[in-house]
Amino acid sequence: MNQENQVTGATIWLTGLPSAGKTTIAYELAGRLREEGHRVEVLDGDEVRTFLTAGLGFSREDRHTNVQRIGFLADLLSRNGVKTLVPVIAPYADSREAVRKRHQASGAAYLEVHVATPVEVCSERDVKGLYAKQAAGEISGLTGVDDPYEAPESPDLRIESHTQSVQESAAALHALLAERGLA
């Protein structure tokens, strides 16, 4: 194990629709990185909303604030030697770009990964029952259905989780980290 790699932080931002597989892939990769001796944290969007950004709604402004707060924390952790995996929808390109620029300004490594799962597949998975609630008229503003999702135009990696296993997806992301000298 290369000691230098163990303390090299980076933010790996996984964006995609609800139920795309972002969190599952992040935890799979986190386990692998920990086994290799890396310091790793997962900033799960749902957990962050519970503890860090409680009180924010789902308006465009609140979503932007949510993403910026998570981006600040990710940058802080990354600058301190932590591989920070961020499975967060982050539906707006300008919000994600602001996070990228924060990392560039601080010198922290930042990778954007688009978990590009079609909405039809996400709806079938419906991990949290959101698509069913939206279809029943119980909720509105579901990203990718009746609220916009701006897919990254040129992510560092695009994962099509509906065509490969979680392990294959995490392995592709690990390979990118290794290629960039981050794993």
What pLDDT does 7 receive?
63
Q: What is the pLDDT of residues 85-134, one digit of tens each?
A: 999 999 999 999 999 999 999 999 999 999 999 999 999 998 889 999 99
Predicted confidence at residue 52, as pLDDT, reads: 86
Taking a C-beta distance cutoff of 8 angstroms, is the pair 103, 109 a contact? yes
Q: Kindly list the distances between the CA atom of residue 35 and the CA atoms of 13, 38, 75, 82, in Å, as whole numbers in the listed order.
A: 21, 7, 23, 14
**pLDDT single digits (tens) 2-31:** 444 446 899 999 999 999 999 999 999 999
DSSP string computed for 37-73:
T--EEE--HHHHHHHTSTT--SSHHHHHHHHHHHHHH
Q: For 54-74, how does the pLDDT look when each residue is reduced to its tens digit (9 = 90+)?
A: 889 889 999 999 999 999 999
**Residue 59 to residue 180: CA distance in whole angstroms:** 35
